[in-house]
Structure 1
């Protein structure tokens, strides 16, 4: 049984779909005026897992992730750079998709753009005006929050207590300070579209309601987004969608928490914004995904050097086991079944991560189960001496289990040996060391061992250990990796 924490009720609830076997899921995507920062990708990485787990449980998922390609920020950038707003938006859609694809996340079912749904937006606004939920003033159209009795049910805000300046814009055309724009009459030089009220463009909130209605219908199962979208964006979506349909808009609201840098909220004013592209170039996509999923999606995620280093070490231990299992699985060996003790560990692993994902997609707990399996594999298979019966079968089973889970999380699927080299190079760089230096020390130690100069061999091993380098001796010679 899958349970989801519903932001509206503040409680975990059993997941039941509107239509048996089918899930309609809408997640708010980016406003495409710049490269996306690392925080913008917490949602895409997490909701990729949500979609995969629902499908693993037999649901047919339609996952809509939109692009807001009409916005003041896009217009401002276009004006500053003397470009067409459409060109700016298309540029950064492509840049987002480049980053998204580098993360090897699955394509969404649909990626609607606001500019492709103007008729749907105008029709929804017309419905609201006709039902007395919205009104026109001098070419602008506003939603009348007093016409919707449930306004505030998601954010738990009372409209009578909303004051000017609290993310609510005061305007002399409004009847109430909390009323919000559905359609804005175009200013000179702005992009605009035809409507019954004026040449203009839509307000931000109506866009998602209209695209969701057009592609998924009047009611959906899951609506996701960042915690900062609860008010006013998602609150206003509810008012618009339910004001037009008279039906419950969303069954489960899911919101991922924010990212901090050293216990400070990431913001332009603090100067600590970091683009995802920068992080991916400095590290790599696997580290980014592991960093995001290593914490529960509803907890604040702190992007610190120490946390990133922990992720490097964590991935190193996992990929080290995968590389060993890959080699072991190719040795042939006796055809014996997986040892019963390891099979029990596998069953515990599967039941453990299943329970974790069923419990509000607790990816942090999944990592704990991964390490339980890695430890069990290392205990059974990473021993000196000849290959023992059952070890090859255990290695193959370990690889199969990690591949299955990796497919759900978009993790652990890189070629293990190649990826370990990448990780080691990153760690060496952090230590100020060169791979050639380590290779030379390991070669000198191997020669000392061959010459039976065990004192020198031990001295070199101690020197390598002090540098944080672990050396393993095998039939094919000595290999090394950075300690993790």
Structure 2
């Protein structure tokens, strides 16, 4: 068996008379293969993607998976023109969901029965704390009291708390991340218990919030088996809520809806039939409790069948096998092989159940995808996708059981032609996980402004889709730089649409068109090479660089617009422009345009301002010139309220120009008015006029980059102003203090308890003990006396008393 596990299983390359359009990295072969659809015409592509397990909000790690799959999906459909049938499941029943639904139901019931902090509540929580610590933090004392938790845990788990491995030698792993989570959970409960004596009855929710994560498993251990398994609402209330929230999150990230959605709870009969066929083919067996297990040994004895084709090196990994069987699975005694996995689980008390020939039960985790995908797509599909962590055991088990289902004894049925696995997302080296509770939810990240749908997608485009992506400051900067680069290019194209370059010589056209064709070829080669989006983005930014460095006087508008339409099409195919159609022939992406209702007024104001500034700087802004400028823009009063603020800005600017003209104002006042239009009037309406040397001002919306630059400029100005005010304040205080000091008579200044005798000028001669003042000290006192004498005499002269 070990030798067989190391042998690369055969992969049957699909056959087609149509030349392949691309190569894809295929997890089945762990290499790049020509992508050849099952469809004889090479157009239809059947694709199944593992969807969410809906028991909590989705986090940025999920965004990495689903956004990246969406990118590949869009490229295949929008760029390579395949007709996709994209199926995605929703796992709305499994061990995690059963546990979470049951636990939350029991906690809600406990809180409803105990709305006040009673002795019973506290005693139950202490027992829950004890049980949690004993199970999850074995280095701590078995009889640990909540009040001793912080001290003992900081000693026993010092290395983990310090960010090291448990033994303090190697780097931390997921195991240390789990320990940190358990320390946090137990610590929160200990804090709640210690604070309980000071809490009022109105603070009961605060107590439950702190103790919740130890109460959940404890209450389930006591009462989980008492749950009515016929009451599906206990579980569907949870799954329906989080399925809806998952869909909201995906749409907020501009992820396309699947063509078909399948739910496990809607596929009970089909799953039973799928399992029956596997048993009929002698690849599954029943245990005495009514569970059905997959027989790996029987499967591999049939020529052509292989188990763990995706990750053969993990086939004996006990931890991964246990994770695949689920948290509610007790170690069976009747399995024929340790690695055999559940196809159908006999439902225990407190678990939902479906009717089956083997008694009430529920699907194993892996069988759901096999049954649902095959029901919609048939006995074979082109693509199966999911996160890299699903390779083993989930996808390897799917493969084995599906090939067993469709096997006709000669073996070797190829259920999936191409497996596409998305790499992990990590932040600061830590992989996000629901089970580790170290994640940032998608909605939190978007609401806080950490990311936008576009900026996050660009980050994923900058990394290889099947490679891990770690979000670092450098990667953030690279993503922001690309977005700004493309945005600024589109600003220039918009400006060119408003101000055509009719005098271009065309001398640069041929050179830039050649570079354009080279960029298209580079991008095509990149996408055809297993969706190499980092290289594709470099092709786009490189072409923009060539445009920026081109002498615009020699470049025809038509060339620029062709480039802009192509870039627009590609970034829309990548999903960077909302739901905009990649093929509608327009240019730009969302965020580069000012409101439609603003355009006629803003562009008129910008044009008038340009002319006023030009003439004011040249010193020839006469009344007739100014009247000619204003006369070009006469608008019918607008009834649309949304346009009114922009019309008012233009009108006010024109009236202020007339007022300055009437009073024969100098040029600097006209220029100040132009600055006010840019920096205040239009800025407050979300519009900016970007002044450029020897050219008209470019009209653009105010974005986060502009706001940040202005905030920084204002912060610097504020710091300078505050520093100046501080200096002036300190100087005023110094002068005031000096003025008060000047009022003191120098002949009286030393007549204090420190001395006992003085001369006629008020200089001390004896100290408090009657001893002579030392000569060294007298020298110092004399200097002070002379300084004060001059100061006081100047004061007397100032008040006319000298």
TM-score normalised by the shorter chain: which range applies? 0.7 to 0.9
Q: CA deviation at 1:268?
A: 5.2
Distance 2:699 2:84 in 1: 49
Distance 1:276 1:309 in 2: 20
Is it true that 1:145 corresponds to 2:299 in the alignment? no
More strand by share: 1
Distance 1:417 1:208 in 2: 37
Is it true that 1:277 corresponds to 2:420 in the alignment? no
Q: CA deviation at 1:342?
A: 2.0
Structure 1 counterpart SS, 2:247: helix
Distance 2:381 2:31 in 1: 19
Partner residue in 1 for 2:62: 40
Contact 2:380 2:414 in 1 (8 A): yes
1:57–1:34: structure 2 CA closer, same or farther, 3 Å change rule? same
More helix by share: 2
Q: CA deviation at 1:86?
A: 1.1
Q: CA deviation at 1:72?
A: 1.9
Contact 1:323 1:417 in 2 (8 A): no
Identify which of 405, 418, 421 aligns with 1:255.
421
Q: Deviations over 1:2-44 (max 9, x none)?
A: 1111112111111112222221111111101111111112232
Contact 2:374 2:380 in 1 (8 A): yes
5+ residue gaps, structure 1: 423-445, 455-469
1:184–1:276: structure 2 CA closer, same or farther, 3 Å change rule? same
Distance 2:256 2:547 in 1: 30
Is it true that 1:156 corresponds to 2:377 in the alignment? no
Contact 1:33 1:77 in 2 (8 A): yes
Whichever of the two has the greater Rg, that structure is 2
Distance 1:417 1:453 in 2: 36
Is it true that 1:265 corresponds to 2:448 in the alignment? no
Q: CA deviation at 1:270?
A: 6.0
Q: Deviations over 1:221-254 (max 9, x none)?
A: 1111111111000000011100011221111111
Q: Larger RCO: Structure 1 or Structure 2 (Cα < 8 Å, ≥ 6 residues apart)?
A: 1
Identify which of 443, 457, 474 aligns with 1:289.
457
Is it true that 1:399 corresponds to 2:564 in the alignment? yes
Contact 2:345 2:361 in 1 (8 A): yes
Contact 2:28 2:309 in 1 (8 A): yes
Distance 2:268 2:482 in 1: 47
Distance 1:127 1:270 in 2: 38
1:305–1:28: structure 2 CA closer, same or farther, 3 Å change rule? same
Distance 1:164 1:48 in 2: 33
Q: How does 1:356-367 map to 2 (within 5 A)?
A: 356-367=526-537
Q: TM-score by structure 2 length?
A: 0.51
Aligned CA-pair RMSD: 3.0
Q: CA deviation at 1:293?
A: 1.4
Q: TM-score by structure 1 length?
A: 0.83
**Which deviates more from structure 2 when the two are superposed, residues 399-408 or residues 265-274?**
265-274
Partner residue in 2 for 1:312: 480
Distance 1:178 1:236 in 2: 10
Contact 2:60 2:432 in 1 (8 A): no
Partner residue in 1 for 2:319: 165
Identify which of 227, 234, 237 aligns with 1:87.
237
Is it true that 1:203 corresponds to 2:388 in the alignment? no
Number of residue pairs the alignment of both structures matches: 439
Q: Deviations over 1:173-208 (max 9, x none)?
A: 311111111111222232221111121210110000
Contact 1:35 1:95 in 2 (8 A): yes
1:118–1:357: structure 2 CA closer, same or farther, 3 Å change rule? same
Partner residue in 1 for 2:525: 355
1:330–1:421: structure 2 CA closer, same or farther, 3 Å change rule? closer
Contact 2:490 2:592 in 1 (8 A): no
Is it true that 1:11 corresponds to 2:11 in the alignment? no
Contact 1:329 1:393 in 2 (8 A): no
Q: CA deviation at 1:421?
A: 10
Q: How does 1:74-473 map to 2 (within 5 A)?
A: 74-82=97-105, 84-137=234-287, 138-149=289-300, 150-157=306-313, 159=315, 162=316, 164-168=318-322, 170-246=331-407, 247-267=413-433, 272-281=438-447, 282=449, 283-334=451-502, 339-380=509-550, 388=553, 390-412=555-577, 419=591, 451=668, 472-473=691-692
